[in-house]
Structure 1
Amino acid sequence: MSADHPFDAALGEASQLAGRWLDGVREGSIPATASIEQVKDALGRSLPDRGEPATAVLRRMGDAIEPGLLRMHSPRFHGWVIGGAEPVALAADWLVSAWDQNATLRTVTPGVVAAEELAGEWIVDLLGLPSTAEAGFVTGATMANFVGLVTGRDQVLRDAGWDVASDGLSGGPRVRFIAGAECHGSLEEAGRFAGLGRPQLVDADDEGRMRVDALRETLASSTDSGPAIVCLQAGNVHSGAFDPIADAIEVAHAAGAWVHIDGAFGLWAAASPRLRHLTAGMDAADSWATDAHKTLNVPYDCGIAIVARPEALHASFAQQAAYLPASVDGSDPNDRVPELSRRARGVPAYAVLAQLGRDGVADLVERLADAAAELRERLSALPGVRILNDVVFTQVCATFGSDERTRAVTAALNGAGVAFGSPSRWRGQAVLRFSVSNFQTDRAEAARTAAAVADALARVPADAS
């Protein structure tokens, strides 16, 4: 840019502030150190009568907001299921903001739509899904689940002779919404958005996997028959376990149900030759949901909804208007997602896939699984630590004795700032859950996390015998 370019000063300041933040990602303390009220005070609570130069505003934002940030990019951040951002994906995301394209129509913004379509096609291929499937980019796993459930809802009702697009839901057949007893809350929320109500829960085993015999009994119930959607899980949020996908799909399809798979982080196991047995048979499902921000390490936000039958997807989501130039050589992005206005969030996914390639994605997935296995081994060797789950993918669930001590160890670990895990409750007891999702997390970083846990244990009194 020229010296007097209107964007030069602001972008230069933003680049310096971003560099300062990223410099501290690996070694900096993880928790936020400022409260919301403190950040508001530092930002300035009153709207000024006269504005300030862009650089001054940005500098104040950096100084005020950084203390209130959680270092989710840290390779020892294991909270929730949150990935980092591969450098190429972050750079691509900056380009998306600079290009500022509304990625909704093929003929209007062919550049970003081309990159998104390639990313979608590559993801379908990487995951071993039907080549006819189409992918749409949404905000996250909740909306990806929503797309799959709405498409399934409309299709099973059409099969039953009811047209939701014309007649709405009221007065039509009730759609049975069936999921495993340990389904994720985002799936339940998506079901509410879709007008399906709460799911009918099917018993799960000790690892949170849906029991196929219980699914068969639920579907065979003569007191509650009708159109049905069966939701399976690829990656339990506590154990990382995968439902018995192939057998469950066979049972569900035999009953005429639409099968949707919630695989926010676990679907990516299919990209690894070593781990794809966990997802065996999932290509026979009807729709899938995942989130590239998790295992693939694309910046927020980049959920992915995939549907095997594009015509069903378009029937549920396509928008038409006289002022919108519809594509004549393929479906438009707005035929696949609820939004008409949105940023080109699939472009960073293209960048990561192009840089890593098929082998690189497999290496990424396997490195995360190996780090989780390392963490399990090292934590298991610590006194008083019990690992509750069979670590098959990227989740490690630990307890440290009584609920009180587990909560105390969690607070000591997270407060120290070296590593971070999610406090939760599973199998009726307090647990500390570690999710290994960051591209920088390897066996060495897992060892550092385990050492931080050992330090926290040393600071917390043992349970009374």
Structure 2
Amino acid sequence: MKNNEADLVRDADERALTYLTGIENRRVFPSNAAIDALMAFDESLPETGHPSAETLAMLDQIGSPATVATNGPRYFGFVVGAALPVAAAAERLMLAWDNGAALYVTSPVCATVEDVAAKWMLDILDLPRESAVGFGTSATACSLACLTAARRALLLQAGWNPDEDGLFGAPEIRVVVSEKTHITILKALRVLGFGSSRLLVAPVDAEGRIDPNRMPDLDDRTIVCLQAGEVNTGEFDPFTDIIPKARAAGAWVHIDGAFGLWARASEKMRHHTNGVEDADSWTVDGHKWLNTPYDCAMAICKDPAALAGAMNSDAVYATGTATAQKNLTLEFSRRARGVPVWAALRSLGRQGVAEMVERHCSQATHLASRLKKEGFDVVNSVVLNQVMVKGDNDAETRAIQAWAHESGEVWFGMSSWDGKAVFRLSISSWRTTDDDISLLVNVLITARHSFRLRQLT
């Protein structure tokens, strides 16, 4: 069994390396033939098991051709970065450890490394150093943790203990969200019982930023959800206008900064986030702009006791400190998602993270300029790494995307802005070069030309 384990892991590593070394030559979205071949997985549960090597081979031979090359240089969808080699390698070693990372006692190394990663996150994002940092699966889960802490803190302040008395009969907590708030914030609020019709919606300007002059009234029973990086435009809410008023009213301010909060790592870009440090909680993804493997995000709370009080999961057989990760996140049984964060930050350093952010922003600006010269309608102002584009009409916009995807050269997602179809180009992979940006432009030009030729025939 031991030799078989070594052979199997070695085989998996070799297959993974083969996949990675060919990533730049793969179709970004799989071919129809590769997708059709996936039917081979649709087999009955075997009565007797198959050899492990055979199972792994099947996963690679049938599965790998049907992957989306999100780990490559020409994937421009969903603000997803490719996994940095050191982050992926650290995760590979972490999986070999197979340590639960709930408490120090379950894994001293994981607890220590995540403590360091938490300090480094506060440093590179320049957030209050006393804050608690919980490493979770996604901005959705981390927002849920932060918003739970926010509601609990406001209720305790109002003299109501939700831990003991629940929510029936509790003072009403109001929630202000942007007209363009991300769906994951709405999902977290829905899970917490805040119905959509009860939310207070703040109007936005043409770029998707909250208009501070049209904000709902705030008080000490209000949670205000702001954005650092609107998902389409990449824009930032006016923090310096809104947050001081919220704090004066006693409201709790939460920042959804899944990718935009990384602008703080760059001296050139951090002006977009001025004032964000005065909020009460923040969420940010690692698997977006830090380029860690998927399933990695952070819940950050200025008041450690507020987050630890809301997320505490101590049991008689498993007690931990207020900084134990199981007491800062939704998960009790968890893997150490802070390990790849630590590996990425240690290997890139402050300058490396800043350089990556600045390079992607520069590439986005260049991409927008090229597309404008070619007659495309670039809808947003391109302040970060997001470029939102449309053709002459919705049909042309959708046809350009469909042709580009069919080519296998690039992938990007569709969206809607002011009732019109747009496609969204997100630049966040460490692998993306200027040549990849040029290739993207050429694909878009060819796709539009193909559509217009078809319209003439």
TM-score of the pair, normalised by structure 1: 0.94
Aligned twin of 2:288 = 294
| Rounded Cα–Cα distance in structure 2 between residues aligned with 1:122 and 1:214 | 37
Aligned twin of 2:433 = 442
Report the Cα offset of residue 44 of structure 1.
Answer: 5.0
| Rounded Cα–Cα distance in structure 1 between residues aligned with 2:144 and 2:251 | 17
Report the Cα offset of residue 32 of structure 1.
Answer: 2.0
| Rounded Cα–Cα distance in structure 1 between residues aligned with 2:142 and 2:440 | 32
| Rounded Cα–Cα distance in structure 2 between residues aligned with 1:36 and 1:173 | 55
Report the Cα offset of residue 126 of structure 1.
Answer: 0.6
What secondary structure does 1:299 align onto? Answer: coil
Structure with the higher helix share, 1 or 2? 2
Report the Cα offset of residue 296 of structure 1.
Answer: 0.3
1:46 aligns with 2:44: yes
Render the CA deviation track for 1:396-422: whole Å, top value 9, x for unaligned.
000111111111111111111111111
Aligned twin of 2:229 = 235
What secondary structure does 1:166 align onto? Answer: helix
| Rounded Cα–Cα distance in structure 2 between residues aligned with 1:47 and 1:35 | 25
Report the Cα offset of residue 444 of structure 1.
Answer: 2.6
2:308 touches 2:327 (CA, 8 Å); kept in 1?
A: yes
1:367 touches 1:442 (CA, 8 Å); kept in 2?
A: no
What secondary structure does 2:452 align onto? Answer: coil
Aligned twin of 2:217 = 219
Matches within 5 A, 1:184-263: 184-198=182-196, 199-215=199-215, 218-219=216-217, 227-263=221-257
Report the Cα offset of residue 324 of structure 1.
Answer: 0.8
Render the CA deviation track for 1:329-380: whole Å, top value 9, x for unaligned.
x621111011110111110010000000111111111111111112111111
Aligned twin of 1:402 = 393
Provide closer, same or farther for how the CA distance between residues 232 and 4 of structure 1 changes in structure 2, counting only shifts above 3 A. Answer: closer
| Rounded Cα–Cα distance in structure 1 between residues aligned with 2:154 and 2:160 | 9
Report the Cα offset of residue 68 of structure 1.
Answer: 2.2
Aligned twin of 1:146 = 144
Matches within 5 A, 1:336-355: 336-355=328-347
| Amino acid aligned to 1:381 | K
Aligned twin of 1:392 = 383
2:146 touches 2:281 (CA, 8 Å); kept in 1?
A: yes
| Percent of residue pairs bearing the same amino acid type | 36
Aligned twin of 1:364 = 356
What secondary structure does 1:156 align onto? Answer: helix
| Amino acid aligned to 1:444 | D
| Rounded Cα–Cα distance in structure 1 between residues aligned with 2:241 and 2:3 | 61
| Rounded Cα–Cα distance in structure 1 between residues aligned with 2:21 and 2:82 | 14
Q: Which runs of 4+ in 1 moved over 3 A?
A: 34-40
| Rounded Cα–Cα distance in structure 1 between residues aligned with 2:208 and 2:34 | 36
1:31 to 19, 29, 32: 29
1:368 touches 1:442 (CA, 8 Å); kept in 2?
A: no
What secondary structure does 1:7 align onto? Answer: helix
Report the Cα offset of residue 4 of structure 1.
Answer: 5.5
1:370 touches 1:442 (CA, 8 Å); kept in 2?
A: no
2:54 to 40, 53, 56: 56
| Rounded Cα–Cα distance in structure 2 between residues aligned with 1:434 and 1:367 | 15
| Rounded Cα–Cα distance in structure 2 between residues aligned with 1:421 and 1:38 | 22
Report the Cα offset of residue 27 of structure 1.
Answer: 2.3
1:319 to 308, 313, 325: 313
| Rounded Cα–Cα distance in structure 2 between residues aligned with 1:455 and 1:25 | 23
2:239 touches 2:275 (CA, 8 Å); kept in 1?
A: yes
| Rounded Cα–Cα distance in structure 2 between residues aligned with 1:30 and 1:374 | 22
Report the Cα offset of residue 39 of structure 1.
Answer: 4.7
| Amino acid aligned to 2:203 | D
1:174 aligns with 2:169: no
| Rounded Cα–Cα distance in structure 1 between residues aligned with 2:42 and 2:389 | 42
1:279 to 273, 284, 288: 273
1:103 touches 1:109 (CA, 8 Å); kept in 2?
A: yes
1:421 aligns with 2:443: no
| Rounded Cα–Cα distance in structure 1 between residues aligned with 2:132 and 2:24 | 37
Report the Cα offset of residue 36 of structure 1.
Answer: 9.7
2:29 touches 2:410 (CA, 8 Å); kept in 1?
A: no
1:141 touches 1:186 (CA, 8 Å); kept in 2?
A: yes
Provide closer, same or farther for how the CA distance between residues 36 and 310 of structure 1 changes in structure 2, counting only shifts above 3 A. Answer: farther
Report the Cα offset of residue 286 of structure 1.
Answer: 0.1
Aligned twin of 2:98 = 100
Matches within 5 A, 1:47-86: 47-86=45-84
Bigger mean CA offset, 444-453 vs 44-53: 44-53
